[in-house]
Structure 1
Amino acid sequence: MQFEVIPAVDMRGGKCVQLVQGVPGSEMISLDDPIAVALDWIAQGAKTLHLIDLDGALDGTRINAPIIEKIVYEGKNRGVMIQIGGGIRSFEDAAHLLKLGADRVILSTAALREPELVKKLAREFGSEHINVALDSKNGKVAIEGWKKLSEFTAVEMGQKFENLGAGTLLFTNIDNEGLMRGVDATPTAELVKAVNIPVIASGGITTLQDILTIRATGACGVVVGSALYTGKFTYLEALNILKQNKDS
């Protein structure tokens, strides 16, 4: 699987935003048209988009649903993979998005609360469409929009969900996320080593070197948000650094 740099399109209140540490009200970026943002990433060469419904994740509301539906439609027409997370709390929620045309749904709190949901969805739709998000803080997996910590590590949960049928994992190191301080690759590398399914990393990407550092862990891709939106580097620069350092 070729390593990918995946732009994040996080939505709250109908806008494209970037929060610091997932805290509402901490928006460092707020753009009025998430659809235009998504189309721009596609135009720049993105093969996968990472959509997060923050209202769904934080409040359980679906006010961004029409925007998500439009992005899925536009992405499918352009051959772009769309993965969606945020507030997917039931089989019906996930099934709706997959039937809408999403390529991959990202389960977090729902998977931790009801692990059999992963097995049920994988059986119904195929493992390749089911991703489980493992958001780690202080070594433990966080749930409910990062409001609470579970008693489990990402490695423990990654192995469990692989056995239940998840096709990919999304690992976010909350300790670094949104702070623009760079990455700590060790937790990602540990998870990659512990499972046999692809791991997508997220959290803390600040420089082009951070992208190469994550690739060196064996992860199949990295989600980038704040660094792109604040101009730390461009998406084209990210693609170029991968081409220039194919063997690193």
Structure 2
Amino acid sequence: MTRFRPCIDLHAGEVKQIVGGTLDSTSEALKTNYVSKLPASHYACMYKENALTGGHVIMLGPGNSAAATDALQAWPGGLQLGGGISDTNAQSWIDAGAEKVIITSFLFPEGKFSQERLDAVLGALGGDRTKLVIDISCRRQGDDRWFVAMNKWQTITDMEVTQESIKSLEPYCSEFLIHAADNEGLQRGVDEKLIERLARWCSIPVTYAGGGRSLDDLEAVKRLSHGKVDLTIGSALDCFGGQGVKFDDCVEWNKKQGA
């Protein structure tokens, strides 16, 4: 059943909500919707108190390890962690309190998918796919094609998001996380075509993020995916300075779904 999943996006050591398509630390075009005065651990505790499982902490670039560690220590085993994950640090983040680690860029050296690197990450986790989430966040290319994007969603890889590519990855992980980078942070609604396809193609849990702006979007994702896809809402939440939806209302929505 579709449920609301929370997030903590970290940039330069702070909790922020950023327009995903502008996320390039070397660019003056970076657009930030919100910078929190509260630490990451505050949000982790808030999610824990409301039993919001399956949330993700994403380290957007360097300088976020301390904040991420604080969040994981506030709720050991309650949050997934992504951003800069590789075979050399995956297990250490599990040891630090992450329920699962989320991996993207490491799998695409020079923008090309590497099965060898995926095998290495899974091996570092003792072969336990339940600890691994593959992030196939993507950017739209044309009307009905999406390609995995890496390096803070600035580099388009050689992997198209299709039924075939998803089926090839499913044996190695327990979940997918998909940011629709062209919608991320814009609060202009979800990518309905992508959600419909994810529901058809994925046989393991999948969380979509990008453009969620109201409870109506939760209802839309539920309808479009027949309850198979979860939704993360970020910038629109009142706890992140948004005006589109109240965090408490998302918590209540989950309760009504039996989540």
Contact (CA 8 Å) 1:212, 1:242: kept in 2 or not?
no
1:101 maps to 2:77: no
Residues 104 and 15 of structure 1, relative CA distance in 2, 3 Å threshold: same
Relative contact order, CA 8 A, sep 6+: which one is greater? 2
Kindly tell me: are residues 65 and 243 of structure 1, through their superposed partners in 2, closer, same or farther at Cα, counting changes over 3 Å?
Answer: closer
Partner of 2:74: 74
1:58 — aligned with what?
none
**Partner-residue secondary structure (3-state), 1:96:** helix
Aligned to 2:6: 7
Instruction: Quote the Cα distance in structure 1 between the aligned partners of 2:202 and 2:43.
Output: 34
The equivalent residue for 1:19 is 18
1:117 is aligned to 2:117: yes
Query: Aligned equivalents of 2:15 and 2:252: distance in 1?
Result: 26
Say which SS state the counterpart of residue 137 (structure 1) adopts.
Answer: strand
Structure 1 position 28 matched with structure 2 position 28: no
> Which amino acid in the other structure matches residue 149 of structure 1?
I
1:148 deviates by: 1.3
SS in 2 for 1:106: strand
- State the alpha-carbon separation in 2 of the partners of residues 118 and 17 from structure 1: 29
**Bigger share in helix:** 1
Aligned-partner Cα distance in 2 for 1:69–1:232: 30
Q: Secondary structure at the match of 1:169?
A: strand
Specify the SS of the correspondent of 1:17: strand
On the 8 A contact 1:18/1:30 being kept in 2, the answer is: yes
1:146-169 deviations in Å (ceiling 9; x for gaps): 111123222243222113x11111
Counterpart of 1:162?
170
Q: Which residue of 2 aligns with 1:185?
A: 192
Correspondence for 1:231: 243
What is the aligned-residue RMSD (CA, Å)?
A: 2.1
Residue 175 of structure 1 deviates from its aligned partner by: 2.4
**Given that residues 44 and 236 in structure 1 are in contact (C-alpha distance below 8 angstroms), is that contact kept between their aligned partners in structure 2?**
no
Tell me the CA shift for residue 3 of structure 1. 3.6
Contact kept in structure 2, 1:111 and 1:132, CA below 8 Å? no
Task: Give the corresponding residue for 2:212.
Answer: 205
SS, match of residue 95 in structure 1: helix
Indicate the residue corresponding to 1:85 in structure 2. 82
Q: CA deviation at 1:245?
A: 6.2
Distance 1:135 1:49 in 2: 16
In structure 2, the residue matched to 1:131 is 133
The one-letter code sitting in structure 2 at the alignment partner of 1:191 is L
Name the amino acid aligned to 2:78.
M
Match of 2:57 in 1: 51
Count of paired positions:
234
Contact 2:75 2:97 survives alignment (8 Å): no
Q: 1:242 and 1:38, CA in 2 relative to 1: closer, same or farther beyond 3 A?
A: closer
Contact 2:8–2:43 (CA under 8 A) maintained in structure 1: yes
Does the CA contact (< 8 Å) of 2:198 and 2:229 recur in 1? no
Gaps of 5+ in 2: 24-29, 141-145
